[in-house]
Structure 1
Amino acid sequence: MTALPGTTGRRRIYLMRHGHVDYFGPEIRAAGGDTKVVPLTPLGQEQAKAAGQALSHVPLDRAICSGVPRTWQTAEYVLAAQEGKTPTLEVVEELVEIHGGSFGQANSRAELAARMAYHFDMAGSAGATMLDGGEVFAEALRRSVSAIERLLGDPGWHTMLVAAHEGINRLLLGWAATGCSVERALGAVRAFEQDPACINVIDFDMVPAADGRMGTEIERALIKSVNVTPYNYVKHGMNMTSLESIFAIEPR
């Protein structure tokens, strides 16, 4: 297994959220409300480019996205800024956003923003879903954690870019913050804000499998940084939560 320089079994994931999108845009309307088709807005493109500049000097061994346009585009902007050899962008579909249900009837973006403001706070409740009829948070956690564990088990890399989504990132950060515990992770989800095109840095110490199996297992996760936005490092003027801003602010 390849490890970070100076370590014996440590790997690093640069976990990103995609840049800004408009969930009320023409692509969504044309697709009958299917949010999987939404691309980055011009603002989202600039945010992704800023993240790319911040990571331009970081050698990336692998690059992963969830496969939908907004994560693919975000990852491509980051890879385009790389100063060295660029890895081929791979798709891991298990990292696609938590499947949402119905927003219900709403008359304005502001009304939707108010409805969504505390939605992730409910993730730790038994059987909680992403909106009415949406995916159960616990099931989204299991599929996303399984994907990360599988990637960590692959040989030959020490630094990886993962371009994913707000909900998935919150789940993974909650998991990492609770000792990689699937049982406790959902209670921590509410604390991890994820702004558009943010960068999180998570290190994983990998050790030989304890039961004698081939391969490695996670001994611990170390969160090095959370929700870093290179286009606005100190968050000046970013007073809304990500969910509030999505529904309340018209895109540029």
Structure 2
Amino acid sequence: MSALPGTTGRRRIYLMRHGHVDYFGREIQAAGGDTKVVPLTPLGQEQARAGGSALAHVRFDRAVCSGVPRTIGTANFVLDAQVPEDRPALEVAPDLVEIHGGKLTRATTRAELAAEMTFYFEQAHVPGATMMEGGEVFAEAERRALAAIRKLLAEPGWHTMLIAAHEGINRLILGWCAMGAGESGLQAVRAFEQDPACINVIDFDMVPKADGSLGTEIERTIIKAVNVTPYNYVKHGMNMTSLEAIFAKDPR
């Protein structure tokens, strides 16, 4: 198994959220509200490029995204800053796609939309809680996202990976890591902000399986950095929450 230099079994994932998108744009309207089709806005492209500049010195063994335009675009902007001969092919892990949402039922303004979304995240730990009315159950989204992460960690031949995913999925992964990767992290989901094109850095200490079977398992998770935004490191002027910014007319 490959490991970070100076370690015996440590792997690192640079976990990004995609850059800014317009959930009220013509692409979504033309697709009948299907958010999977939405691309990065010019602002989102700028944010992703800033992430690429910040990570230009990091050599990625592998690069993964959820397979929708906004994560494909974000990952490619980051990879564009890599040395061409070291650039890995971009892979797709469909189980890292965003939590499937239902209907927002009570909101009539952008502020109310943000407040309602916040409410659903705060209830994520409640048994059977869904992402909006009729949406995916948070616990089920957590299971599929963590299964994808565990699968990647079980695969040999790498120690540094880029993953471009989504706010909700990233929150689920970070919550689980905060709990030591030993139990559900849904109780912690509300605590994690994920601004557009932010970077999280997570290390995983991998050891041989305790039962003696072939392969490795996670011994320890180490959250090295959370919600780092290279286009604005100190968050000056970023006074809205990440959910409020989704529905704001001017996300800057």
TM-score by length of 1: 0.97
**2:168 matched to 1:129?**
no
Partner secondary structure for residue 40 of structure 2: coil
Q: Tell me whether 1:175 sits opposite 2:176 in the alignment.
A: yes
Once the two structures are superposed, residues 24-82 of structure 1 have per-residue CA deviations (whole angstroms, 9 ceiling, x without a partner) of: 00000000000000000000000000000000000000000000000000000000001
What is aligned with 2:236?
Answer: 236
Amino acid at match of 1:235: K
Name the CA distance, whole Å, in 2 between partners of 1:106 and 1:159. 42
Residue 89 of structure 2: aligned partner: 88
Q: Give the 5 Å matches for 1:1-252.
A: 1-83=1-83, 85-104=86-105, 106-183=107-184, 185-250=185-250
* Distance (Å, rounded) in 2 between the aligned partners of 1:182 and 1:133: 25
- Give the Å deviation of 1:115: 2.1
Aligned-residue Cα RMSD (Å) equals 1.2
Partner SS state of residue 118, structure 1 = helix
In structure 2, the residue corresponding to 1:60 is in which secondary structure? coil
Amino acid at match of 1:37: V
Aligned residue identity for 1:116: M
CA distance in 2: counterparts of 1:48 and 1:223, whole angstroms: 22
Equivalent position SS for 1:182: coil
Deviations 1:82-140 (A, max 9, x none): 13510000000000000000012643323312322333111111111000000000000
Which segments of 5 or more consecutive residues in structure 1 lack a partner in the other structure?
none
CA shift for structure 1 position 236: 0.5
Q: Hey, what's the Cα distance between the residues in 2 that align with 1:106 and 1:250?
A: 19
Q: TM-score, normalised by structure 2?
A: 0.97
| Matches of 2:30 and 2:122, distance apart in 1 | 32
The CA distance in 2 between the partners of 1:65 and 1:73, in whole Å, is 9
Once superposed, which parts of structure 1, at least 4 consecutive aligned residues long, lie more than 4 Å away?
Answer: none
Deviates more, 1:133-142 or 1:109-118: 109-118
Q: Which runs of 5+ in 2 are unaligned?
A: none
Q: Residue 167 of structure 2 contacts residue 194 of structure 2 at CA under 8 Å; is this kept in 1?
A: yes
User: For 2:123 and 2:107, how far apart are their aligned partners in 1?
Assistant: 20
Distance (Å, rounded) in 2 between the aligned partners of 1:223 and 1:106: 35
CA distance in 2 between partners of 1:32 and 1:97 (Å): 18
